Amino acid sequence: MTAVAPAERLVGRRYAALGMRRMWYGTIIVLAVEFAFDFGQTLQQLGQYRDVAPVLTGWAVLLVADAAVAIVSRVLGEHLPHWLFWLYFIALAAALALDIEATWGMPDMGFSFTVGTSAVLSLVLAAITRSPLELTLAGGGLTAVAAVAMLLGGSMRPATLDHAVFAICHMFLPIVVVAFIADNFRRLVRRETEELLSQSAISAPRLTIGIEASEQLARLDLAAESLLGAVADGRMRLPLSEELAKRAGALATELRLHLLESRSKTWLGLAIDESPLLRQDVRLEDPRAAAGLLSTRQRAALLSALWLLHDERGVSSRAGLSPIVLAFGEPAPAPEAETLDAVVISVDVPGSTRMMVDPGVWEHFAQVGRYRESIDPRGMRIDIRCLVPAVRGGARGRTAH
C-alpha cells in the first residue's frame, strides 16, 4: 500500500481539473482568430517584404509547433512534459526570429509584425499545463526580444512609437491575463475538490480513521476472513504450520495497531493529513481530541477558514514561513449552561496581519465561536472560544451535530 493519501492522488493527478479543458478549447478559438487576422495581414503586405521566404517559413514552423503541442497535450490528458514545453518555446522563438528577419528595415516593425505576434500569443496553449511563472517568463522573454528588435530597427521613433507600444502590449498582456485566470481557476477547482473530499471527515465520529487506513483495514479484514474460512472448511488443518501461524500473528498485530490508531486521531487530524494543501501549512496540537467535540457546522467553518488562510499565504509568496499552528485547549465547563463545555482554539498565523487576511476568514471563525485577534512582530494570533456539548460519561466518543 503506498504512503500517498488517496486525496493527494486525486488532487495531485496530472490531468486537468474540471472545466480546464473547456478553457483550453476557448484559448484555441481565440488563438485561431488571431492567426486569421495576422495571416491576412501577412498576405496584404507580401509586396513589402524584401524576401517572403522567412515569414512564410515562420508561419510553417508556428503552425507545426502549435499543432504538435495541441495534439500531445490532448493525448496526454492536458499534460505537457518539461522538455516538450521548452522545445515548443524554442520553436516559437524561431518563428519570431524569422518574422524579425522578414520585417527588418521596414519603417514600422510594430505594425508589420504578424507571425511574431501569433508566436508569442501561442503560449496560451500551455496555460493549463504550465505554472503562471513559467508562462509569464516565457512570454516576457519573447516580448523583450521583439521590443529590442523594434528599438534597433528604428521603430521607436515618435511617428511609429504608438504602434510599437501597442505591439508589445498586444504580445505580453494577454499571456499575463490568461496565466492569472488559469491559475485562479485551478486554485478554485482544487479547493472545491478538497471540500468534497473533506465531507466524510466533517461528519466523522469524534475519533476516526482516514480513507487510506480504511482501505488497509478492509485489506486486512479480507486476509483474516480468508484465513479463517480456510480453517473452517478444512483446507487448512489445525494446528497451523509455522509459516501460517506467523502470517496470522502478523495480521492480528496489524489489525490491533490500526484499531489503536483509530482511537487517537480526530476528524481534523484526518482532514489535515489527507489534504495536499493543508498538510504542509498547518500543524495541529490537540492532545485531548477536543476537535472531535465540534459540531458539523463548526467543523466546516474551521476548515474553510484554514483554506482561506492557506490561499492568502500562497498568493503573497510567504510559503517559506513557519506553518499555521492550530492548538486546542482542554474542554472546561461553560458558565452559559451545564450541558455545554467551552473549548479555546488558538490559531497562530506567522507573518500575517489583519489587513492581509481575507474577510471571509472572520465570517468562518464567527461560526466556530467568539474570537479575538492580536498582532505581534511574529504575526497574528486568533483565539476562539467555542461552545460544544459537554462530554459526560457515555457521550464520550460521539460526534455533536
Q: pLDDT tens digit string along 125-178?
A: 888 888 888 899 999 999 999 999 888 887 788 888 888 888 899 899 999 998
Kindly report the pTM of this predicted structure: 0.58
Nearest to 85 by CA among 121, 126, 142: 126
pLDDT for 112 equals 82
Phi, psi (deg, nearest 5) at residue 330: -80, 135
- Is the bond preceding residue 239 a cis peptide, omega within 30 degrees? yes
pLDDT for 246 equals 62
Query: Any bridge partners for residue 215, and if so which?
Result: none
pLDDT for 17 equals 45
pLDDT at 201 over 90: no
pLDDT digits (tens, 9 = 90+) for 74-98: 787 667 788 888 999 999 999 999 9
pLDDT for 182 equals 83
Q: Lowest-pLDDT range, 47-56, 73-82, 99-108?
A: 73-82
Phi, psi (deg, nearest 5) at residue 8: -70, -35
User: What's the average model confidence in pLDDT over 280-292?
Assistant: 84
User: What's the average model confidence in pLDDT over 58-62?
Assistant: 92
Q: Is the distance from CB of 312 to CB of 364 less than 8 angstroms?
A: no
User: What's the average model confidence in pLDDT over 384-391?
Assistant: 86
User: Which sequence spans correspond to the domains of the chain?
Assistant: 6-193, 209-264, 278-401
Q: Is the distance from CB of 265 to CB of 209 less than 8 angstroms?
A: yes
Q: Is the distance from CB of 6 to CB of 274 less than 8 angstroms?
A: yes
- Rounded to the nearest integer, the mean pLDDT of the chain is 77
Query: Any bridge partners for residue 266, and if so which?
Result: 207
Task: Show the cell assigned to 384.
Answer: 476562539
Higher pLDDT, 373 or 108: 373
Query: Over pLDDT 70: what percentage of the chain?
Result: 70
Residues 125 and 116: their CA atoms lie apart, in Å, by: 16
Count of C-beta atoms within a 10 Å radius of residue 43: 8
Question: For 213-230, b where at least 16 C-beta lie within 10 A, e where not — what string?
Answer: beebbeebeebbeebeee
The dihedral region occupied by 156, where left means phi > 0, alpha psi between -120 and 50, and beta the remainder, is alpha
Residues 396 and 388: their CA atoms lie apart, in Å, by: 12
Nearest to 194 by CA among 300, 286, 292, 266: 300
Q: pLDDT-based confidence at 336, cuts 50/70/90?
A: confident
Handedness of CA 224, 230, 236, 238 (dihedral sign): positive
Task: Calculate the alpha carbon distances from 182 to 19, 93, 186, 245 in Å.
Answer: 10, 23, 6, 57
Task: Show the cell assigned to 251.
Answer: 495480521
pLDDT at 14 over 50: no
Q: pLDDT-based confidence at 375, cuts 50/70/90?
A: confident
Q: pLDDT-based confidence at 211, cuts 50/70/90?
A: very low
Q: Is the distance from CB of 107 to CB of 158 less than 8 angstroms?
A: no
pLDDT for 137 equals 92
pLDDT at 245 over 80: no
Residues 109 and 164: their CA atoms lie apart, in Å, by: 7
Enumerate residues 6+ apart whose C-beta is below 8 A from 384: 344, 345, 346, 347, 365, 368, 369, 370, 371
Task: Show the cell assigned to 11.
Answer: 488532487
pLDDT for 341 equals 87
User: What's the average model confidence in pLDDT over 204-232?
Assistant: 55
Nearest to 382 by CA among 390, 373, 370, 391: 373
pLDDT for 385 equals 92
Domain 278-401 fold = Heat Shock Protein 90 (3.30.565)
